[in-house]
Chain A
Amino acid sequence: MNAKTPKQINREVAICNISRRRLLQGFALSGLVLAVGVPGVLLAEDEPEKFGRDAMPHGWTDDPLVFVAIMADGTVKIVCHRAEMGQGVRTSLPMVVADELGADWAQVEIVQAPGDEPKYGNQNTDGSRSMRHFFMPMRNVGAAARMMLEAAAAAHWGVAVAEVKTGVHEVLHPQSSRSLGFGELAEAASKLEVPERDQLQLKTAEQFRYIGKGKTHLVDGLDMVSGKAIYGIDVTLPDMLHAVVARPPVLGGKVTDYDATEVLKIPGVLKVVTIPGSPPPAYFNPLGGVAVIATNTWAALQGRKALKITWDHGEHASYNSPQFRAEMEQSARVKGGAVVRDEGDVYRALENASQTFSAEYYLPHLSQAPMEPPVATARIVDGHCELWAPVQDPQAGRDLVARWLELDADKVTVNVTLLGGGFGRKSKPDYMVEAAWLSRSMDGQAVKVTWSREDDLHHSYFHTVSVERIEAGVDEDGKPVAWLHRTVAPTILSTFDDSALVKMPIELGMGVVNVPFAIDNVRIENPEAKAHTRIGWFRSVSNVPHAFAIQSFVSEMAAKLDRDTKDYLLEVIGPPRQLNPAKLLDSWNYGESPEEYPIDTGRLRKVVEAVADKANWGKSLPKGRGQGIAAHYSFVSYTAAVVEVEVDEDGELSIPRVDIAIDCGPAINPERIKSQLEGAVVMGISLAMLGEITFKDGAVEQNNFDGYQLSRMADAPAEIHVHIVPADDYDAPLGGVGEPGLPPIAPALCNAIFAATGQRIRALPIADQLEPM
């Protein structure tokens, strides 16, 4: 990927009329924040291609003056510029700064940054990137601030800087037994030059007090259990009004006519306002519809019930899930579609194989369904729009609101609240535009727009629906010689370009083209599929269907060949080797450099072996019980899981134990890594057992948690054991954590069900498919 042309990638232009290749670069470079009208990344002709944090819009900064403020009383304020949505980032990133700085955590206060990427660097909190991209910058921030305090102390004492050192929250001069607290030094230090990056003296691993220890309690933990934590839905402003919106049930639908007579009779209702829809593609624009503005949320909800709206449903009203599934299955069964990887001669190898296998897997649409639904509050004072929102990508919201209100972005302030869950939904700030639009319709008065659960489930940016068909051939020894995978699913790109029909590199690179197996003949085909709803990203994105199919299929092959699944999986992965993702035709590799981040089958093997060992793989189990295993590379981390199930005579399933191992490089906050993986296990079980969004006549059929069910406490495994495979040192490249835990869960679960019962589940959710034993 050595582009020789200047790459001024305006994201919109990229979408509309530039070649697919350029456009996809735009995607990679902008980290999925397309279409929000901010200037793209500018690369000069001869500049080398950028990766990782360097390639993100607005990049990164390690300026201590941006991130640290020390008060005279010794309080150290550390800015968190990424959004907290349960991954613990408000604890983990400031903890890195505090450690390098030498601060006492008890005297640290966290300040949440507003959406302002030119100042803070990239803030788009998704893609499991926060620690991966900001560990180094945050270390630099802390080290630079520490060195400034040391310089100030040395000057105060009139001694050489080399003679002073930092203790805990103070600088010491051991020779004279003098010390000065951070608070006493703050003012003098703030007047000094920030040391150059190459002069920074970072701590050694032995000197860390917080990094790698996992002993730092959540900064918001106590507030979260005492009702004090402020989420987007909790924002309360003077004279604030409350709104709910009736949106078109079918994508692209329009209001033909509406009657608000009864609405305005409801006490508390003040006004009914239309929000215009936008022509396709959907982008992050609001869907449009009719809003009811009232003095409280309940009155607004009652008002909406009384609205009479006639809709023109538009072109997607014929979207029906069963029919669409049948069409996708049809496409998956015939040779064709975009050939996205082709090594050797797969068709001939299949013909010559001593045995062949094939299977088809189905994953329905899913909704992120964060416990806090989308919500935003806006007010406009003197031409300045201020918003409060639980948002993963505040800069995208800021730019989009600016465009809708025809303001400069610097006339829009986005305050980032805590997120009551995000999972990808809150990367799309359509709800922020609604709030801003409605505030404007009330002459700038503060308006909070709250989505009900029904709104959330009806109008998500859904996880795609997919059919994966795999055919494989083996030689006489059972060694795989041919691998043909046809992957069919509406693409996320359709949300930005409604003519898009095939997957883009970031989707293909999530486990389907870059399948790291030791097989000579590999071909991946991608037949077309048209999107009829807004396709978005859901935690782990395309890794979920890809890992489900691939890891189920390997287990199916092992069973037919009468081989142990774990051993066979290792054989298919092959010997330890470092694969260049680009050679596997993965041009994306999560935005990271293929040299720094090769796909390392040795690391993949290691998590498989580690988890098998910890789970006591192959232990003898009574009838009705079984273990399943699965492994997956995603977000430049390696995970493997063993699920143990028990199925009783009535076909009731329970999960006595899950083991999951991760190699994510250095483990900065092992406690939150553990908690993220525990959460991923439960979410994986939830989607495998219960998750399904279906469409009828273009509209979502599920309304609330009765239709779209989520795992509850009794569905959770009795035990979850997380195993972190340690990295050699803190210089090793970091991998993601928030997402990689999810992909292996569904296949490991279905493999366990097969081991326990002999029944193979190929279509999710499992729901009531289990047969009585």
Chain B
Amino acid sequence: MPVLTINGEQRELQFAEDTPLLWALRDELAMTGTKFGCGMAMCGACTVHVDGQPTRSCVTPISAVAGKSVTTIEAISEDAVGKQVQQAWNQLDVPQCGYCQSGQVMAATALLKSNPNPDDAAINAAMSGNICRCGTYNRIRDAIKLAAKAVQS
């Protein structure tokens, strides 16, 4: 049974080893903040961090993350950058339906951790894997810039 660290806690997962992390999180651990959107690494709704790297949990079998450290949206406020991202999102009222926003916040946090001051091209590149059907892209872009400022100050 794969043992991994999820949000700082050691967890042993019972589901079949080929089960994508997404479904283990949601159905086995009832951690439903990580969303399903496509199941094929095409929408970003399921983004988590694996050893700090943004990762599509819908195509990542739990066997592949054994021994690794996974951070999900439920714990992103414990990260200094993640916290600023959430606050910027709230300040600009980014969400519409909000369903994609877990993944957006995870992708944006990963971006700002590797590039504290991204320009539009860097934002487009880092966020292009995350679809928002409601069309909140312009506010996401503004919120990333707002969070970047907050992180730097």
* Interface check A642, CB cutoff 8 A: no
**Chain A residue total in the interface (Cβ 8 A):** 68
- Residues from chain B with Cβ under 8 Å of A370 in the complex: 97, 99, 133
Q: Which of A206-239 contact B (CB under 8 A)?
A: 217-218, 220-231, 233-234, 236
Best-buried of B16, B74, B141 by chain A (most CB within 10 Å): B16
The residue in chain B whose Cβ has the minimal distance to the Cβ of A706 is B42
Contact A682 B135 (CB under 8 A): yes
Contact B73 A418 (CB under 8 A): no
- Residues from chain B with Cβ under 8 Å of A234 in the complex: 26, 32
Q: Which 8 A-B pairs have the closest CB atoms?
A: A227-B33, A682-B135, A420-B99, A224-B98, A86-B97, A86-B96, A227-B73, A234-B32
- Residues from chain A with Cβ under 8 Å of B94 in the complex: 221, 225
* Interface check A473, CB cutoff 8 A: no
**Majority SS at the chain A contact face:** loop
Q: Give 5 new A-B contacts, CB below 8 A, not counting A225-B89, A713-B141.
A: A223-B98, A224-B95, A421-B96, A421-B133, A713-B137
* Interface check B139, CB cutoff 8 A: yes
The residue in chain B whose Cβ has the minimal distance to the Cβ of A451 is B36
Separation in Å of the A684 CB from the closest CB of chain B? 9
With A86-B134, A227-B33 in contact, is A296–B28 under 8 Å at CB? yes
Contact B76 A371 (CB under 8 A): no
Contact A296 B23 (CB under 8 A): yes
Q: Which of B76-93 contact A (CB under 8 A)?
A: 76-77, 85-86, 89-90, 93
Contact B135 A683 (CB under 8 A): yes
Q: Which of A394-429 contact B (CB under 8 A)?
A: 418-423
Contact B42 A420 (CB under 8 A): no
Q: Which of A287-340 contact B (CB under 8 A)?
A: 295-299, 301
* Interface check A612, CB cutoff 8 A: no
- Residues from chain A with Cβ under 8 Å of B124 in the complex: 713-714
Contact A227 B43 (CB under 8 A): no
Contact A296 B133 (CB under 8 A): no
* Interface check B72, CB cutoff 8 A: yes
Contact A719 B35 (CB under 8 A): no
Identify the A interface with B (CB < 8 A).
84-88, 217-218, 220-231, 233-234, 236, 242, 267-268, 295-299, 301, 369-373, 418-423, 450, 452-453, 671, 675-676, 678-683, 686, 704-706, 710-714, 716-720
Separation in Å of the B142 CB from the closest CB of chain A? 10
The residue in chain A whose Cβ has the minimal distance to the Cβ of B43 is A705
The residue in chain A whose Cβ has the minimal distance to the Cβ of B86 is A225
Partner of B135, one of A223, A372, A678: A678
Contact B36 A233 (CB under 8 A): yes
The number of A-B residue pairs with CB atoms under 8 Å apart is: 200
Q: How long is the Cα–Cα vector from A279 to B30 in the complex, in angstroms? A: 38
Q: How long is the Cα–Cα vector from A218 to B123 in the complex, in angstroms? A: 25
Chain B window 91-133, contacts with chain A (Cβ cutoff 8 Å), 1 for yes, 0 for no = 0011111111110010000000000000010011001111111
* Interface check B148, CB cutoff 8 A: no
For this complex, 24 residue pairs linking A to B, each with C-beta atoms less than 8 Å apart, are A85-B97, A88-B96, A221-B93, A221-B94, A224-B102, A225-B90, A225-B94, A226-B76, A227-B31, A227-B33, A228-B74, A236-B32, A297-B26, A298-B19, A371-B131, A372-B99, A419-B97, A453-B38, A686-B135, A710-B131, A712-B130, A712-B131, A712-B137, A720-B138
Contact A671 B93 (CB under 8 A): yes
Contact A371 B99 (CB under 8 A): yes
- Residues from chain A with Cβ under 8 Å of B15 in the complex: 268, 296, 298
Contact A678 B32 (CB under 8 A): no
- Residues from chain A with Cβ under 8 Å of B54 in the complex: none
With A87-B96, A705-B38 in contact, is A236–B86 under 8 Å at CB? no
- Residues from chain B with Cβ under 8 Å of A719 in the complex: 138
Partner of A450, one of B36, B38, B89, B129: B36
With A86-B96, A714-B128 in contact, is A225–B101 under 8 Å at CB? yes
With A88-B96, A225-B86 in contact, is A453–B37 under 8 Å at CB? yes
Best-buried of B40, B76, B85 by chain A (most CB within 10 Å): B40
Q: How long is the Cα–Cα vector from A422 to B134 in the complex, in angstroms? A: 10
Q: Which of B11-46 contact A (CB under 8 A)?
A: 15-16, 19-20, 23, 26-28, 30-40, 42-43, 45
- Residues from chain A with Cβ under 8 Å of B39 in the complex: 301, 452-453, 704
